[in-house]
Amino acid sequence: MKKELGYILINPYTICKSRTGGVIGRLLSWGNLSLVAIRMFCPSRELVEEYAEALLSSGKTGNGQEKVILEQIRAYLFQNYLPSEMQPSPRVMLLLLEGENAIEELKRVVGHITRVSIGETIRGTYGDYIEEGGEVKYFEPAVFTGSGREETIKEIKIWAKYSARDGGVLENVISYPKGARPDRTLVLIKPDSFQECSCRPGNVIDQFSQTGLFIVGAKIIRMGIEQAEKFYEPIKGRLVGKMKKQLIGPIRSFLDNSLDFPVPEGVEELIAEELKAYKADNQFDRILKFMTGRDPQETSQEERKKEGLEKCLALVYEGEEGVERIRKVLGETNPEEAAPGTVRKDFGKTIMMNVAHASDSPASARREMAIVRVEDDDIRGVIEQYYGKL
């Protein structure tokens, strides 16, 4: 069966309550779906009106109950997707997922709006539909998705139409107390979290929610070699010193076990000094290969400019002391040295496969965001690959 593209909209209330990671975890652990694009939106009235109209038109041939539900959805969109006193600038997250029969798979994992189950679907866990005496008392669908193939194509094309204007790294969407000085930081959830179906990316996001920061930008990144070289350039110099320390022990052991005469103390340091630059270059190449899926030693100059084969999820967090808070929850570079309860301690394996990267200063965050270009709009291009020109 040919793969198709479906969508999920994570609603402002779900995002506000830090349930984003839980929703993403459910979607990616389902087994048949792959995340291909993601983008934050602050929807305009025009976008909400077109999307609501598309949902209503899809139910014109439905029965009376379906039409009532669609009217409730329409009212919900205008109450929650547009500015209000409670949410001056609502944030919506759009996810595009591919897979065989993806649209029906998404409907199954999302669940029904009115028949809210207990736990086994996204709406069963995060949504509510309370009705008393035939009147709806409370309605929170948690997420939206397409109801069928034609409806899905129509609806995601509407979001693509407004993606450049209403989406990206959102500006001035969070209200802060007077005198607050928020900053922004970049998090990259690394490729090993996406190499098999797993809830781990969602669990990592859920753990970062402990910071109380706000997600204002999101994008799937496939780093090319040139891009990765720029991104990791600051660590290249630091690797040389680290590699010398790592070499001394193994060199000492090798000399003692391989030679039939005693080797004077300090020789291992002289050898490590000679080899440290070679070891650092090798380690840097391994980082590039891990992040891009391409071996820099076997890649042509033309291919070095192309996007990579591995997938990362870039997230921009905003808030007071954003850099410091994220790095505290992330933990030390080496998972073995990270504190209990940190992301790297809980999910990391090695110094390289340590789950996520986070900027070490506001200046680094700005530099890194410019390199991976989180604000660039790829939604339109992804949709056109599946469903033709908009």
Contact 365, 359 (CB under 8 A): yes
User: Measured over all CA atoms, what is the biggest interatomic distance in the chain, rounded to whole angstroms?
Assistant: 93
| Whether pLDDT at 116 is above 70 | no
Contact 330, 346 (CB under 8 A): no
The better pLDDT of the pair 226, 260 is held by: 226
Closest by CA to 191, choosing from 220, 168, 232, is: 220
How many angstroms separate the CA atoms of 26 and 202, rounded? 8
Assign domain 3-168+376-387 to its CATH architecture. Answer: 2-Layer Sandwich (3.30)
**Per-chain mean pLDDT for the chain:** 92
CA atoms in the 13 A half-sphere facing the CB of 122: 31
Model pLDDT for residues 177-219, shown as the tens digit of each residue: 999 999 999 999 999 999 888 899 999 999 999 999 999 999 9
- Give, to the nearest 10 degrees, the angle between helix 20-29 and helix 102-110: 130
> Could you state, in order of their start, the residue ranges of all structural domains in the chain?
3-168+376-387, 225-304
Closest by CA to 6, choosing from 122, 112, 147, 123, is: 147
Q: Reduced to 3 states, what is the DSSP secondary structure of residue 177?
A: coil
How many angstroms separate the CA atoms of 189 and 61, rounded? 43
Query: 13-22, 100-109, 236-245, 267-276: lowest mean pLDDT where?
Result: 236-245
Instruction: Give percent helix, percent strand, percent coil of the chain, each to the nearest 5.
Output: 50, 15, 35
pLDDT at 59: 61
Backbone angles phi, psi at 285, to 5 degrees: -65, -35
What is the pairing mode between strands 3-10 and 143-145? antiparallel
How many angstroms separate the CA atoms of 147 and 265, rounded? 73
Query: 138-142, 289-293, 340-344: lowest mean pLDDT where?
Result: 138-142
Model pLDDT for residues 140-157, shown as the tens digit of each residue: 999 999 989 999 999 999
| Whether pLDDT at 61 is above 60 | no
* Catalytic residue IDs: 357
